[in-house]
Structure 1
Amino acid sequence: MIIASCLLTLELAGVFSLKEKRSIVKSVLKRMPQKFNVAVAEVDHQDVWGTAVIALVTVGNDTARLHSQLQKAISWLEHHRPDAPIADYEIEILT
């Protein structure tokens, strides 16, 4: 079994309250599992307005497919959520 994870840091420049931030993050957390078959959670900076750290995780037996799946999720987020630009991301594969 191979575990692939991706840690995404989102910069939420136009957000001025936790309510606004949670609205954006909640939407992302709902769509990603439906679209890409990944587990998703906000894992850090929960009380910081302008930044969100989200983890995506998936499992399988093909490293290339898992990496591709996470890359597609990142690309989708970049194109469909301009209100949540990705400042940084890191993909890790555990075998």
Structure 2
Amino acid sequence: MFVATCVITLELEGVRSLKEKRSIVKSVITRLQREFNLSVAEVDRQDAWGTAVIGLAAVGNDKAHLHRLLEKSVAWVESQRPDAPIADYSIEFL
């Protein structure tokens, strides 16, 4: 069994309030959960307006499949959410 995690840092330029940030982050989290069947949560920088850090996790028996799944998730955010560009991301296996 493998546990794969991904941490994505989003730059939210132009966001002027935590309410606006929460709206964007909640939308991204909900869509990632629905599209890729992942566990997703905001994991850091909750009080910063211009940055969001979200964590993704998946469990499976094929390490390559999990890596592809997380890479596809990152690519989805890049292509579908131009309002939340990715500043950095990392994938790890536990």
- TM-score band (shorter)? over 0.9
Give the distance between the partners of 1:80 and 1:29, measured in 2 at CA.
13
1:25 maps to 25
Identity %: 65
1:88 to partner: Cα distance:
0.2
Q: TM-score, normalised by structure 1?
A: 0.97
Post-superposition offset of 1:93? 1.0
Q: How far apart are the structure 2 equivalents of 1:13 and 1:69?
A: 27
Structure 2 residue aligned with 1:73: 73
Which runs of at least 4 in structure 1 moved beyond 4 Å after TM superposition?
Answer: none
TM-score (norm 2): 0.98
Aligned AA (1:63):
K
- Show structure 2 runs of 5+ residues with no match: none
What's the CA shift for 1:66?
0.1
Matches of 2:33 and 2:11 in 1, distance apart? Answer: 21
Residue by residue over 1:62-87, the C-alpha shift from the partner in whole angstroms, topping out at 9 and shown as x without a partner, is: 00000000000000000000000000
Question: Shift of residue 8 of structure 1?
Answer: 0.4
Q: Provide the C-alpha distance between the structure 1 equivalents of 2:37 and 2:62, rounded to a whole number of angstroms.
A: 15
| Aligned positions, number | 94
- How large is the Cα RMSD of the aligned pairs? 0.5
